[in-house]
Chains A and B, each alone.
Chain A
Amino acid sequence: MKPESPFYADSLQCLKASSLFNQLDTAALAGILKRGRRETWKHRRLLPMEEIWQRFHILLSGRVRLSRCNPESGRMITLFLHGSGDGFCLFSLLDGQPHDVMLEPLDDVTLLSMPMYEARQWIEEHPDFNRTLLPYIGQQMSTLANLAADLALHDTETRLARLILRHIDETSSAHIEPTLINDLSHESLAEMIGSVRVVVNRQLQHWKQEGIVDAHRGYLMVEKLNELAQRAERRLVSLPDNVPVIPTQ
């Protein structure tokens, strides 16, 4: 991207706000923008990894999910849900290999894309970046570990509660709107917890009757965080560090 581009200032701002890049100075961020190709992908465009694994991508706006699908049953599991400022194809960046995942934009997305060799070259030129890259990769691995543990150890209600808790802003007060997942369809939510639409729909309706959440088409709001945390804690050994445990009244 060229500095005279009308999209440059917003893209720079996005990188500065990103947890992955916010420790870098403006010159280093300019280096990323210079190497990056601005792309937009339409909502619901399905991209097999073999088409894109040779490039590293940074989301500037919108959401992309990485998922795996069983072609025989059509069942899908979402492995990662990325939002603005996130980088993806990280594993291919590390091992130089394609991985069996499908990418799907959940919105019209804008991103920066650069060849893997350029991304690696940039990282070599900016070793300080590893201080944020390694924890970021650790967070991604933790996400996968949580998903595996949830699928193996918990029932659907607990998994759904934990999914919502992972996407809420701890600093919010009474009514909490989850980030990234708040307007997803029940089918998409189901694909994030290894369930199906009808089960998620039934569970949300049940919680709605109990006043725990307010859920309707394209909208999800947590009304009783304590109750939801209790549902997530059931049969749990521990909650992730970032989920607040609020004592019941």
Chain B
Amino acid sequence: MVDDNSCAALYRTHEQVEVAIRVLQAAEFDIRKISIVGKSYHCEEHLIGFYKIDDRVSFWGAQGAFWGGMCGAAFFWMPGLGPVVLAGPLVATLVGALEGDMAVGGLSALGVALYSIDIPKDSIIRYEAALNSDQYLIIVHGTQREVERVYEVLVVSESTDVAIHLS
């Protein structure tokens, strides 16, 4: 179960995502409350896989070893989006939405997962479009105070957009 308030940020490259995660860690935010979504593009040219060492899940793809230390990770092929990699508590939400056969008009499975954490539809459509253009989405879950603090950290990073979604 994740907090339904969230701070969502878009990044153009996975290096920018890694920097943002490190900054959040340095600011002592709980990494277990952070989710990342990104497309795993160029999959014909690179080895893709997951591995788990010492209870830390890592993803190996075009970006190299990445997203280690997140709680939960998954790889899905989604209609309209293609290969998508997720890490963090959003994975459980997505799987829950899939298992519960949840449907929200016009939204993909990822969209349904985002909708179930109270991100509104019009924002979801833009986030999916950004993911389609190979951007990355970081979502930090928490109380209103926590997500407001996260916003202050992420807004000065190299994000293209940062927003607070209050449930």
Give the A interface residue count (CB, 8 A).
16
A3 closest partner in B (C-beta): B160
Q: How many angstroms from the CA of A110 to the CA of B119 in the assembled complex?
A: 10
Contact A6 B10 (CB under 8 A): yes
Contacts of A5 in B (CB 8 A): 10, 160-161
Digit string of B155-167 for contact with A (CB within 8 Å is 1, else 0)?
1000111111111
Digit string of A28-61 for contact with B (CB within 8 Å is 1, else 0)?
0000000001111110010000000000000001
Contact of A110 among B122, B129, B167 (CB under 8 A): B122
Contact A7 B161 (CB under 8 A): yes
Contact B164 A37 (CB under 8 A): yes
Contacts of A108 in B (CB 8 A): 120-121
Contact A42 B166 (CB under 8 A): yes
Q: How many angstroms from the CA of A40 to the CA of B118 in the assembled complex?
A: 9
Q: B123 interface residue, CB < 8 Å from A?
A: yes
Q: Is the interface of A mostly helix, strand, loop or mixed?
A: loop
Contacts of B162 in A (CB 8 A): 2, 37-38
Q: A4 interface residue, CB < 8 Å from B?
A: yes
Given A37-B151, A41-B166, A45-B167: A2 touches B161 (CB 8 Å cut-off): yes
CB of B125 to closest CB in A, whole Å: 10
Interface size on B, as a range, is: 20 to 34
Q: B52 interface residue, CB < 8 Å from A?
A: no
Q: Is the interface of B mostly helix, strand, loop or mixed?
A: mixed
Q: B130 interface residue, CB < 8 Å from A?
A: yes
Contact A61 B126 (CB under 8 A): no
Contact of B126 among A6, A37, A39 (CB under 8 A): A6
Q: A212 interface residue, CB < 8 Å from B?
A: no
CB of A84 to closest CB in B, whole Å: 12
CB of A34 to closest CB in B, whole Å: 11
Digit string of B38-53 for contact with A (CB within 8 Å is 1, else 0)?
0000000000000000
Contacts of A4 in B (CB 8 A): 160-161
Contact A40 B161 (CB under 8 A): no
Q: Which of B128-165 contact A (CB under 8 A)?
A: 129-130, 151, 155, 159-165
Q: A12 interface residue, CB < 8 Å from B?
A: no
Q: A1 interface residue, CB < 8 Å from B?
A: yes
Contacts of B161 in A (CB 8 A): 1-2, 4-7, 38
CB of B132 to closest CB in A, whole Å: 11
Q: How many angstroms from the CA of A41 to the CA of B165 in the assembled complex?
A: 6
Contact B160 A6 (CB under 8 A): yes
Given A6-B130, A7-B126: A39 touches B160 (CB 8 Å cut-off): no
Contact of A40 among B120, B130, B159, B160 (CB under 8 A): B120
What would 15 A/B residue contacts be, using CB atoms closer than 8 Å? A2-B159, A2-B161, A2-B162, A4-B160, A5-B160, A7-B163, A37-B162, A37-B163, A37-B164, A39-B166, A40-B164, A42-B166, A108-B120, A110-B122, A110-B123
**Which B residues contact A (CB, under 8 angstroms)?**
10, 118-123, 126, 129-130, 151, 155, 159-167
